[in-house]
Structure 1
C-alpha cells in the first residue's frame, strides 16, 4: 500500500508545474539527522573562516546550472523549441538550400 502512495506522489510531481512540485516536496520538512548536523557544522566552520556560503564559487556555479536547467525546461515544456530557435533553424535550412547542400 505504501508503494502505491509513493508512486502516486511521484506521478503527481511529474505532472504538475515545477513551482507546485517544489511546494509539495517542501510541505513536509524532513526530521533532523546526523547528516544534517554535519552539514550545519561544515557551514558554521566555513562562516568562521570568513568564507561565506554565498561566496563559494562551486556553490554559485551549481545554483546557476540549476537556474539554467529550470529556464530551459520551462521554455521547452511543450517539447518544442522556442520561436527564436525555430526561426534560426528555418534560416539555416534556407541558406543550405540556397547553397545546394
Structure 2
C-alpha cells in the first residue's frame, strides 16, 4: 500500500510546477490513523488548505488538487463498506497480497 501511496504522490507532483508542488506537499498533513473519520478529516483539511492557495488560475495546481480529491475518494471507497467500520474489501486485499508477492520475488532476484 505504501508503494501505491508514493506513486500517487509522485504523479500529483509531476503535473505541477515547482512552486505548486511545494504548496501541495506542505498542504498534506501526515496521518497514522486509517479510520474513515480520519480519512474524511484529512480530505477536508487538505481541501481547505489547497483552496487557500494563491494560484487559483494555475491549471497544473488544479490538476494536482483534482488528483488529491480523487485519491481520497478512492481511498474512502476501499476502506469503508458502509458499516462505519474501516475494512479493506476483498479485491483490495487480493491486490495487496499480489503486490507483496511480486515485491518479495523482486527482492529474491
Using the size of structure 1 for normalisation, the TM-score is 0.35
| Larger Rg belongs to | 1
